[in-house]
Amino acid sequence: MPDGRAGPAGGHAAGRNSRGRCPAFFAPDYPSAENGYQPQPSRRHPVAATPAAIIGTILAGGQARRLGGLDKGLVEVGGRPMIEWIIEALVPQVDALLINANRNPERYRRYGFPVVEDRLPDYQGPLAGFSAALQEVPADAAILTVPCDSPVPPPDLAARLLDALEADGAELAVAHDGERLQPVYALIPAALRDSLDAFLASGDRKIDLWYARHRMATAEFTDRRDHFVNLNQPDDLARVQRLLHRAAA
């Protein structure tokens, strides 16, 4: 199996890639040196923590018990399934995109991105989704994780997390909204997949305990707190719709 199979971010020219040659697993129509694309020189000073590519990972593998078991990524808000809003927000920020889903994989595949299921049975939480995604990306890449029930992720989510990772020389970076950590909005290098698999094999599932095993940077989003609103129960729907309306204005 090749080192990674995550698909390009829809072949969109808007997808981020400022570091030169794209990894070989990207499709021929993805902007790359091979098809005449000339990237702008990076303004970053690469450090050991800098991933070669960022793979957006939408986490749609949960049971949504508080929402009556609905597949939250496919719940319509603002006239569209939530996952469509998230795809639209992530494509300009990442090199490629995949979806972690344990239900309705055929519906998610219609969006043109790889769909990966948890390797662990019985809906064992976001770390199971992290692990499944990390198996699909190159060893020098990182996944940018976002939950499927938060349709307006920050437009600079990847940039701020990467800045925090590099500035601290950290092993992973997690968003903080000024009041609390947002643990499923994270930048996780593929170098940590063995650590995560060992943690899961031991029976642990708590995301904060795994993070505590590594040097973790936090990226501040105090000015974008509303972008972390999510749909956990029916009463949240109106709030999410208001946020989408404001973001579109």
* Bridge partner residues of 142 (DSSP): 54, 189
Q: Is the pLDDT of residue 31 over 50?
A: no
| 73 or 8, higher pLDDT | 73
pLDDT band at 234; cut points 50, 70, 90 = low
Q: How far apart, in whole angstroms, are the C-alpha atoms of residue 117 and residue 119?
A: 6
Full set of structural domains in the chain with CATH: 47-248 (3.90.550.10)
Q: Of all residues in the chain, what percent carry a pLDDT higher than 70?
A: 73
- Residue 212: pLDDT band (50, 70, 90) is very high
Amino acid letter, 75: V
Which of these, 226, 52, 190, 206, lies nearest to 126 by C-alpha position?
206
Predicted pLDDT at 120: 77
Helices (H), the chain: 82-90, 105-109, 126-134, 157-168, 193-201, 207-211, 236-248
pLDDT of residue 179: 95
pLDDT at site 62: 59
Quote the pLDDT of residue 17. 45
The closest of 188, 150, 145 to 57, measured between CA atoms, is 145
Res 175 pLDDT > 90 = yes
pLDDT digits (tens, 9 = 90+) for 51-60: 999 999 999 9
| CA–CA dist 99, 95 (Å, integer) | 14
Decide if 214 contacts 186 (C-beta within 8 A): no
| DSSP state letter for 187 | E
pLDDT in tens, 76-128: 888 899 999 999 999 999 999 999 999 899 999 999 999 999 987 766 789 99
Collapsing DSSP to helix, strand or coil, 101 comes out as strand
- The b-or-e profile of 116-147 (16+ CB within 10 A means b, else e) is bebebeeebbbbbbbbbbbebbbeebbbbbbb
- In sign, the C-alpha dihedral spanning 242, 175, 85, 158 is positive
CA distance 137 to 143: 8
Tell the residue number behind the tokens 């499923």, with chain if given: 184
Between 12-26, 103-117, 160-174, the lowest mean confidence (pLDDT) is in 12-26
Mean pLDDT, range 134-142, rounded to an integer: 95
Pairwise CA distance, residues 59 & 61, whole Å:
6
Range 63-74 average pLDDT: 67
pLDDT digit string, tens, across residues 214-223: 999 999 999 9
